[in-house]
Amino acid sequence: MSSFFTSRLFFISLALVIIAATLPLYVSGYVLGLLTVAFYFGVFAMAWDLLFGFAGEVNFGPTFLIGVGAYAAGILNAQFGWSVYLCIVLGALASVVAGLVLALPALRVRGPYFGLTTLVAVLMLQNFIVVFADLTGGEIGLTIPDVISINAGTNYWIALGFMTISAAILYGLSQSPVGLVLQASGQDPVQAGALGFNIVKHKLAAFIVSAFFSGLSGALLVFYFGTASVGTVVDVAVGVNVIVSAVLGGRRTVLGAALGAIFLIVAGEFLRPTGELATFIVSAVALLVVLFFPGGFLGAALSREARS
């Protein structure tokens, strides 16, 4: 852990954050808005990587956790008029509770079964949002009266700060003894269990941490957008983006997941002139990375550093 502060990765991350922090001084509001969304997605991807990369469980339902946080915060603000910051905190807590409810049955099963249970959670949440349209706004979406700020620079700095702090915590956690146990249980659950570690307890903890950051990020995103809709925070397609980000950036690296998310969002925007083919091209690039550089961006860079 202490070696991290002298590693090249740390200095590169630090430099990137400093450069990113100065962007509002010379970049247009449009670019800032794009990056703001990308940073929140970065947290989604890092939270997902903590569970997947380290505990070896494919969670197909990142948007269940994101969506619960986003909608809980949005509904409390829109229907009850509670203040923004209280709503954000409660949104994150709602996500933790939802994560617990999901984790209890889901962690009993492994592999594809776990994947399916989490996928079903997303489909159920979608159905409930549509069925309880009076409360949730249904298919049209929920309009949120309050926002954190209308200033693009402020929103950007909040998102950047939030992502940086989340990255520090999640990365620290992944390198801590708890992270190592998770990693071991992901690779060989039987042996890790035989060493006396309570795997289920560790995974449950990872799930809850993942849920907390996903929900917090989802709630913040809602107060940035000023709206919550199935298409932006719950849809399976959003979950696919989160998963692809983490694999693209490099699984088990946490920081790579954020890089992957930023790349995915920015690349999607750059490819907008290609019209409907944008998603095709992004998916094709992601598939090529999966096939030829399975370590992802950061995985490839780190292994080169290790070799030299």
Partner 1 sequence: MRAFQILIDGFAISALYALGATGFTLIFGVSGVLNLSHGAIMVAAAVAAWAAASILNVGTYAGALIGVGVALLTAFTTYFAVVKPIQDSRRIPNEEKEIFVLTGTLLWGIMIQELIAYFFTNNAKTVLPIVDGVVEILGVRTPRNEIFTAIVCCLVIALLWLLVNRTRTGKAVLAASMNPRGVTLLGLELTNIYIVVWAIYGILAGIAGVLLGMFLGVSSYSVGPLTASAFSIVVLGGLGSVSGSLIAAFVVGYLETLTAYLLSPAYRTIPALLLLVFVMYIRPQGLLGRR
The least CB distance from residue 271 to partner 1, in Å, is: 11
Q: Is 156 within 8 Å of 148 (Cβ atoms)?
A: no
Q: Between 176 and 274, whose beta carbon lies closer to partner 1?
A: 274
Tell me the window of 27-35, 221-229, 256-264, 289-297 that interacts with partner 1 (CB under 8 A).
289-297
Q: Between 15 and 139, whose beta carbon lies closer to partner 1?
A: 139
Task: Please name the residue ranges forming H helices in the chain.
Answer: 8-22, 29-55, 62-80, 84-106, 111-131, 133-136, 152-175, 177-187, 189-194, 199-225, 236-249, 255-270, 277-292, 296-307
The least CB distance from residue 130 to partner 1, in Å, is: 7
The residue from 32, 167, 254, 286 that contacts partner 1 (CB under 8 A) is 286
Q: Is 70 within 8 Å of 131 (Cβ atoms)?
A: no
DSSP state of 140: T
Q: Judge residue 307's burial from the number of C-beta atoms within 10 Å of its C-beta, 0-12 exposed, 13-18 middle, 19 or more buried.
A: exposed
Task: Please name the residue ranges forming H helices in 56-83.
Answer: 62-80
DSSP state of 271: T
Tell me the window of 1-9, 41-49, 120-128, 141-149 that interacts with partner 1 (CB under 8 A).
120-128
Within 64-93, the residues that bind partner 1 by CB under 8 A are none
Q: Between 121 and 163, whose beta carbon lies closer to partner 1?
A: 121
Residues in contact with partner 1 by CB under 8 A are: 52, 56, 58, 105-106, 108-109, 111-113, 115-117, 119-120, 123-124, 127, 130-131, 187-188, 236-237, 240, 243-244, 247, 275-277, 279-280, 283-284, 286-287, 290-291, 294-295
